[in-house]
Amino acid sequence: MQEPEVWNEDTIRAIPDQPLAEKTLTVWKIASALQVIYLAIIGGIYAILSIFFTIPLYILFSILGVLAVLMIINTFYIQPLKWRKWRYKVYDNELELMRGVFIVQRVIIPMIRVQHVDTKQGPLLRHYKLATVTVSTAATVHEIPGLDVVDADSLRDQIAKLAREADPDDE
């Protein structure tokens, strides 16, 4: 009969220590507000429909009230928590990502599985001089959102170099 594996401080992986850029929180708050504005448009469509059809307006006001509460909670509570919990760490043989507020997800990506690394910017990220690093494997694409452009370019190059070194086909 096998003895159960004993966990000690040496076998427990440390939490990744690299945070996202502080400006990322501002971008996430703006994006959150824009999402709620999009949902409010649906409320506006409902209001217009209520003119032509017999639809009670209290439903519209209930929807708009719920949207306002959701916007406040998401923008001022969830987004800062999400930003504080998002971490990453690059090791010689792997990349570790940790994210999540209620359900924490930790992903380890072996460098040997990395197919290509890229950076991308949308209009908001570009305005705040931030970028997202995308790491592609055969299975999926992983993202590290909201890094300063210089840091994102440096991280992209570092991961690409480590992935080339880990590839046994290059030897």
Q: Is 12 left (phi over 0), alpha (psi -120 to 50) or beta?
A: beta
| Side-chain half-sphere exposure of 135, counting CA atoms within 13 A | 28
pLDDT greater than 80 at residue 57 = no
What is the pLDDT, as a whole number, of residue 20?
97
pLDDT greater than 70 at residue 6 = no
Q: What is the mean pLDDT of the chain?
A: 87
What single string gives the DSSP state of each residue in 111-122? GGG--EEEEE--
pTM over 0.85: no
